[in-house]
Amino acid sequence: MFANTLKTPQEIQSPFIQWIPRNPRWDNFIRAWNFVKTPPIWKALLNSTIITLSSVALQLLSSSLVGYVLAKHKFRGSNTIFMWILAQLMIPSATSLIPMYLLMNWFGWYNTWFSLIIPAAFSAYTIFLMRQFIITIPDDILDAARLSGCSEFGLYWRMILPLSKPALAAIGLINFVWIWNDFLWPVVMLKDPNLFTIQVALNGLWDIREGYNWIPLVAGAITYATVPLIILTVITQKYLIKGWTGLSYAKR
């Protein structure tokens, strides 16, 4: 993708693959930036960032709260609730597309970011993962905090959240990539180009034909869409590895 941006259209289509083009055309990056017009690429990237960050933040908040309650509090019906949440995982997402569309319309959220952010703020899978993580935090730690005068919410805020950092980071990153790359749902819900996410904006490029220069410019635009994910992975890789090598609490 990156290399293709630096090539001419002829070089891209050539059967002899050049991994590093002989004459890299760096100006393609600038042209690719200006190439996306509805909305401009900076706007689409900004939209995607706002939507994805707020979705992930809300999702982590909701799933850690629900996960904490399900993991550490036994109350009448707690297992039933957990089973209902698990049952959610078995519904294929495609089947919920139209009902969700109707629901969002009914809320009056069509063509707003609410329709993207609010459904993404609650995820059965994330709740399940958080519950499984929090269940491994020893009860003694929480009891000790209770005896020290910590309130129930204080327990969540001062103990569960900081101790769940590796899980939150791993889950947050995976969901960030997922939501960032989502195309179908935003393209269904959004009409106003000014609200478009980067993926929807890239889709608009199919309608434009700007001579033979078209292909490297698309490659450039896609590269721009990928850069934030790469940066994020580099920053959080420490937590990512911790998260993947065992999503369980361990004495640190």
Partner 1 sequence: MVEVRLEKLTKIFDKKVVAVDNINLHIKDKEFLVLLGPSGCGKTTTIRCIAGLERPDYGNIYIGDRLVNDVVEKDRDVAMVFQTFALWPHMKAGDNIAFPLKMHKTPKNEIKNEVKKIAELLKISHLLDRMPGQLSGGEAQRVALGRAIIRNPKVFLLDEPLANLDAKLRVHMRVELKKLQEQIGVTTICVTHDQSEAMAMADRIAVMHQGKIRQIGTASELYDHPEDLFVAGFIGSPAMNFMDCTLEEEKGFLVSNAFTLEIPKQLIKDIKENATSSELILGVRPQDISVQEKEIPDSISSEVYAVEPLGHETIIDLKLGDQIIKACTHPTYTVNLGDKVWMKFDMNRMHLIDKKTEKAII
Q: State in angstroms the smallest separation of the CB of 127 from partner 1.
A: 23
Location of structure tokens 């609410």: 114
Q: State in angstroms the smallest separation of the CB of 135 from partner 1.
A: 16
What is the distance in angstroms between the CA of the first residue and the CA of the last residue of the chain?
A: 41
> Which CB, 157 or 183, lies closer to partner 1?
157
Q: Which residues of 66-87 are buried (b: 16+ CB within 10 A; e: fewer)?
A: bbbbbbbeeeeeeeeebeebee
> Which CB, 25 or 146, lies closer to partner 1?
146
> Which CB, 172 or 216, lies closer to partner 1?
172
**Rounded Cα–Cα distance for residues 197 and 85 (Å):** 29
Q: Give CA 190 to chain center in angstroms.
A: 18
The contact set with partner 1 (CB under 8 A) reads: 138, 140-141, 143-151, 154, 159, 162-163, 165, 251-252
Q: State in angstroms the smallest separation of the CB of 247 from partner 1.
A: 16
> Which CB, 144 or 235, lies closer to partner 1?
144
- Residue type (1 letter), 38: T
Q: What angle do CA 192, 117, 131 make, to 5 degrees?
A: 165
Q: State in angstroms the smallest separation of the CB of 180 from partner 1.
A: 29
> Which CB, 157 or 244, lies closer to partner 1?
157
Q: State in angstroms the smallest separation of the CB of 53 from partner 1.
A: 24
Q: With beta carbons less than 8 A apart as the criterion, state whether 216 and 25 touch.
A: yes
**Rounded Cα–Cα distance for residues 167 and 3 (Å):** 35
